[in-house]
Amino acid sequence: MRTPTPSPAALLITGTVGSGKTTTAAAVAALLRQDAIAHAVIDLDALRDAWPSPRDDPFHEHLMLANLHAVTRNHLAAGALRLVLAGVLEDPAQRPLYEQAASAPLTVCRLRMDLRDVRTRLRQRHHDDQDALDWHLHRSGELDAILDAAGVGDAEVAVAAEQAPSAVARAVIRAVGWNADRD
């Protein structure tokens, strides 16, 4: 009897700015690679990085979703079984659009980190750009509150400032049930 081919699945790692979404996505990919699971990592910020933004779409959501659809279609055609997305989903009403663009069932995992630690990371990241630092410091609290109110996550993982990305990735994989046996 032939073993059935697993169906593709998508994971969106979300959280406020500075919570470690992109770093965690890369660490999840490393674990998937160790397990020989075909996958792709997609940074949603890269898919929306264009200027200027339309007034009615300041974060280029429409552009990002169109790009996500094209990119995931190509990754799935190339054999990816797991799509690891790093980005922000603020509005639960947008979730079906993300899932449709990903062309696979979507699980959302929110990274939750103490805002004091987030702000420390942001100060390190933007130490040479005061305008970017000011914007990100303000946005971190604003976005954290938006995510609290929205409740878009299927799972949530607490992240400590000193926690290794691989440990966060293992916690995410466990939380979403992609590999419950990982330590």
pTM exceeds 0.85 for this model:
yes
* Residue in 90, 84, 88, 80 with CA at minimum distance from that of residue 107: 84
- Domain count for the chain: 1
Q: What is the CATH number of the domain that holds 48?
A: 3.40.50.300
| DSSP letter for each residue of 106-134 | EEEEEEEE-HHHHHHHHHHHTTT-HHHHH
pLDDT digits (tens, 9 = 90+) for 128-148: 999 999 999 999 999 999 999
pLDDT digits (tens, 9 = 90+) for 2-12: 555 679 999 99
Residue 39, domain extent:
9-176
pLDDT at 140: 95
Buried b (16+ CB within 10 A) or exposed e, 24-53: bbbbbbebbeeeeeebbbbbbeebbeeeee
So what's the pLDDT on residue 181?
45
Question: Is 4 within the bounds of a domain?
Answer: no
In a domain, 182, yes or no: no
Q: Could you tell me how many residues make up the chain?
A: 183
Would you say residue 1 lies in a domain? no
Phi, psi dihedral angles at 68 (to 5 degrees)? -60, -45
**2 belongs to a structural domain:** no
Give me the residues of the chain with pLDDT under 50, please. 180-183
